[in-house]
Amino acid sequence: MRNTLIVAAVVSAMGSMAASAAGGPAATPDRFVFESIDGGQIDLAAFSGRPVLVVNTASQCAFTPQYDALQALYDRYREAGLVVLAVPSDDFAQELDTEDAVKEFCEVNFDLDLPMTEITHVRGPAAHPFFRWLAEDAGFSPRWNFNKVLIGPDGAVVATWGSTVGPTSGRVTREIEALLP
């Protein structure tokens, strides 16, 4: 019985890898779920067919003022379908200690209403499965806070940007606008 379970697990994993290599369903990020800072979950499948900008964030970083631009971007394009997802992370030792502190900081200082996850690992073996997938399948791993990943309506990674590229820069908005109806 144990050998049957092991074989089934290996066959399943190989099928997932083959589907991923072929660009099948396993190759898309819509299979990932994050814990929401507001409670509950953020299921990327709920955003299928829409562009999603995923940004690893931190409250005590020189790039933290980008929260204003992330909210402006969300306000500008949300009616057309854009989702901006903030993923607070302490992987670079610049995040507050608790989700409550992060949520309060963002509400008070930036009036954020965009979706936000709980504090999440974005690098290394403890990284959230989305960020492990991003590193393995798309070859991108955040090098610092406020790295941006644009996922197209079809689930493909469209573009990635580092911390120094502002959320409302032409480089970012041109890519987003090309994906909107």
Which residues belong to the active site? 61
**Tokens 């790039």 — which residue?**
63
The CA-based diameter of the chain, rounded to the nearest angstrom, is: 58
Which residue, 157, 119, 165, 118, is CA-closest to 141?
Answer: 157
**In angstroms, rounded to a whole number, what is the distance separating the alpha carbons of residues 168 and 70?**
7
**In angstroms, rounded to a whole number, what is the distance separating the alpha carbons of residues 104 and 106?**
5
